[in-house]
């Protein structure tokens, strides 16, 4: 029954939801126990906004364009006490990441996370790599606040076209993790600037903003 349920969700995420790259993190500095698995489902909305027309690269809420619904299925596996790896599928994208928790002071923890994404969507193919730091404050065992910076490089183009469109996404995320036994709830918000060229990152010629609120539920098993 559980297997059929997850297969149905995977089919829905492939056929119904968008093929754009997700910017979610949906994890704090926790790592899955060695040899154990955890999986879950995340749902969010990816929104894009053009920079302000005066060249100041300011977010204008009146210029929000299409909203892209994101449903993500993810699975994580514990490698060691402080390392785990994960897989994520959403639409026609498949991603894989590796996380290392290198600071654990109980109430305060820090982890690094690096990963890659492959996409193939009706002739539009591409790949992405990303890296982020996850800072985690846990005042009590059942609640933690996590946040951090994240950078993602995206390269995509049509299969019958030699032109490749590179993009730099740089920004960050903030979220909460509420642990309820074997179930965790993670509301999260991510915000990124977009630059077509590395030279544009610190200039006023940014190519827009990305904003992705969402929530994930994780099951340990």
Residue 9 CB-half CA count within 13 A: 19
Q: What is the pLDDT of residue 121?
A: 64
| CA–CA separation, 36 and 33 (whole Å) | 5
Domain boundaries, the chain: 2-220
* CATH code linked to domain 2-220: 2.40.128
Bridge partners of 95, per DSSP, are 88, 117
Please, what is the Cα angle at 81 between 75 and 83, to 5 degrees? Answer: 50
| CA–CA separation, 217 and 40 (whole Å) | 6
Q: What is the pLDDT of residue 98?
A: 97
Q: What is the pLDDT of residue 210?
A: 86
Mean pLDDT of each 10-residue bin along the chain, 221 residues long? 46 46 88 94 84 44 53 93 93 88 96 91 78 96 96 75 72 95 94 72 61 92 55
Q: What is the pLDDT of residue 135?
A: 98
Phi and psi torsions of 4, nearest 5°: -65, -35
Q: What is the pLDDT of residue 138?
A: 96
Place of tokens 């979610």: 24
| CA–CA separation, 67 and 148 (whole Å) | 24
* Whether 72 contacts 42, CB under 8 Å: yes
């Amino acid at each position: 029954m559980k297997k059929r349920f997850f297969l149905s969700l995977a089919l829905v995420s492939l056929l119904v939801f968008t093929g754009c790259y997700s910017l979610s993190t949906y994890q704090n500095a926790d790592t899955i126990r060695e040899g154990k698995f955890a999986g879950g489902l995340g749902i969010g909305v990816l929104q894009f906004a053009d920079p302000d027309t005066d060249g100041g690269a300011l977010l204008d809420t009146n210029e929000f364009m299409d909203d892209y619904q994101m449903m993500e299925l993810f699975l994580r596996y514990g490698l060691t006490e402080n390392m785990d790896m994960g897989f994520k599928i959403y639409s026609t994208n498949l991603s894989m990441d590796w996380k290392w928790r290198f600071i654990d002071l109980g109430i305060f923890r820090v982890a690094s996370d690096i990963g890659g994404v492959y996409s193939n969507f009706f002739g539009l193919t591409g790949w992405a790599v990303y890296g982020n730091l996850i800072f985690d404050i846990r005042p009590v065992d059942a609640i933690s606040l996590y946040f951090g910076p994240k950078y993602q490089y995206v390269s995509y183009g049509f299969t019958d076209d030699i032109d490749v469109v590179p993009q730099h996404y740089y920004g960050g995320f903030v979220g909460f993790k509420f642990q309820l036994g074997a179930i965790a709830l993670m509301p999260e918000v991510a915000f990124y600037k977009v630059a077509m060229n590395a030279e544009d990152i610190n200039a006023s010629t940014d190519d827009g903003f990305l904003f992705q609120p969402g929530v994930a539920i994780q099951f340990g098993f």
